[in-house]
Amino acid sequence: MTWTIRPRSEGPGGLHYWSEGQGPALVLIHGVGLRAEAWGGVMPLLAPHFMVYAVDMPGHGASPLNNTTTLVDYTERFAAFIAALDAPVAVAGHSMGAFIALEIASAHPESLHSVAALNAVFERTEDASQAVQARATCLKDHGPSDPTPTLQRWFGAAPSGEHLAAAIACRTWLTDAHHDGYARAYWSLPTTMGRPARH
């Protein structure tokens, strides 16, 4: 059940989500190539304390891309979603979701009372940024590639038990990700990762 695809609702900003729990609002933003169900493992821990909204990023899961190109574009879509909740809310983001969460905190501080940025990149080198851009080009031209190296980095060479179930789910999500949505998210990263997007 943890990694099962959940029924979606459509929220403000054209973002699709599934929700669970009770209490103050907590918005969860996943990383590139994944989907809202990436938070399935922590939902049972959070739901007794929060009304949790696990949201598909634009171009991921059920959320349409809708000309979303830059980190600011992603941020404004989520800001519209959050504005419809009983603000201020808590937001947690993983990887690219962490950058979106931090950008919301910077651009719309009145809408949040807390933010958690998980596995964000700090001071990414120019070489690393170029590698991300090359990955984006590859995704745009050829679609998702074999995710094995990524999965081994995340879960190890021989995951077992719940880690194996998570690795299988992530393989499916990364392989089946919408080509343009996956690539567009990567294109938004090289010039923003590790550096402020707003001044």
Position 175 in a domain: yes
- Choose among 69, 120, 125, 72: nearest CA to 97: 120
Predicted TM-score (pTM) of this structure? 0.87
pLDDT along the chain (199 residues), means of 10: 89 95 96 94 95 96 92 94 92 94 95 93 69 67 75 89 91 86 76 45
Question: What per-residue confidence (pLDDT) applies to 3?
Answer: 87
Position 198 in a domain: no
Position 1 in a domain: no
Question: What per-residue confidence (pLDDT) applies to 88?
Answer: 92
Residue 59 to residue 150: CA distance in whole angstroms? 20
Residue 152 to residue 12: CA distance in whole angstroms? 36
- Residues 6+ away with beta carbon under 8 Å from 2: 40, 41, 43, 162, 165, 166
Position 195 in a domain: no
Give me the domain span that covers residue 165. 9-187
In DSSP notation, 85-121 reads SSSSEEEEEETHHHHHHHHHHHH-GGGEEEEEEES--
Number of domains in the chain: 1
Question: What per-residue confidence (pLDDT) applies to 193?
Answer: 47
Residue 56 to residue 12: CA distance in whole angstroms? 12
Task: Characterize the bridge pairing of strands 25-29 and 112-118.
Answer: unpaired
Question: What per-residue confidence (pLDDT) applies to 194?
Answer: 46
**CA triple 148-154-155, angle to 5 deg:** 85
Position 25 in a domain: yes
CATH of the domain at 106: 3.40.50.1820
Cross-strand partners of 18: 54
